[in-house]
Amino acid sequence: MRLSRRSAGFFGAGDEEFVEQTVKSDDIVLVIDGPVSANLKKVIEKYEKLPEVTVEWLKKNVGVGLASNVGIKLCRNKLIAKLDADDIAVPDRLEKQVAAFNEDETLSLLGGQMKEFYHEQDNVVAERKVPIKPDQIRRFARKRDPFNNSTVMYKKEDVLAVGGYPDTNRSEDYLLVAKLLTAGYKMKNLPDCLAYYRLSEETYRRRKSWKHTKSTISIRWQIHKLGVARLDDFLLVATTQFAMFLLPSFFTKTVYKLIQK
């Protein structure tokens, strides 16, 4: 199957970078997961006027997993590129990823590297490095998500074939990857940085909450049951996650930065 230059859908709720790509998409879907502020609503309504943009306003917050499934179903094209609300795609992201799918028709999902920044995009403080080759991805997936969520592009039909994203507010992207791995789909990462992730103090507070800790451990157990992670992998990750919940915030930040290196 050959994929055209305009065969990528793009859903999320980022800034202008989802419109200003070197390869344009004719199908941009924004899913608004529940009520938003008046200021943000004005920004979204501005983009809603563009012919290539479809905005789906959900009346209540349904969670990241279900909101993502809504976006998938609305996308008309064979390829879908994912972008979360606070993240920034590099200008040639779609161009590089569509070219990779054209080169390898057996590919189901493709991600890339991502940089983290505080306040301004040029204030990069870390890089989320993920493995590139399929065999490296499978090994990496035993303990951590081998993809940066805001860099992934995938075939719509393959994601729907495994049931889409799970109904969860945490690690829904990791569990989707685990389902694709179990089903035998081919996945890779590019060595290039494809997106920038916006850090804030709220980022660390969310990671230290009991809700986040409990949900993360639950997802890791499901990934173990799928056969992607061994029991010792699950126990190591669960113990580490629980320890980070109990330890002071400054320690959590230090550990997180070390993990990303």
Do 41 and 168 lie in one domain? The reply is yes
Do 192 and 71 lie in one domain? The reply is yes
pLDDT of residue 122: 86
Number of domains in the chain: 2
Do 243 and 151 lie in one domain? The reply is no
State pLDDT tens for residues 208-220: 677 778 888 888 9
Do 210 and 176 lie in one domain? The reply is no
Residue 1 located in a structural domain? no
Do 104 and 154 lie in one domain? The reply is yes
pLDDT of residue 252: 58
Residue 246's domain spans which residues?
201-261
pLDDT of residue 84: 83
Residue 170 located in a structural domain? yes
CB 187 within 8 A of CB 138: no
Do 143 and 237 lie in one domain? The reply is no
pLDDT of residue 187: 97
Do 123 and 233 lie in one domain? The reply is no
Residues of the chain with pLDDT under 70: 1-19, 169, 200-208, 249-261
Do 186 and 211 lie in one domain? The reply is no
State pLDDT tens for residues 15-59: 455 567 888 888 999 999 888 889 988 988 988 888 989 999 999
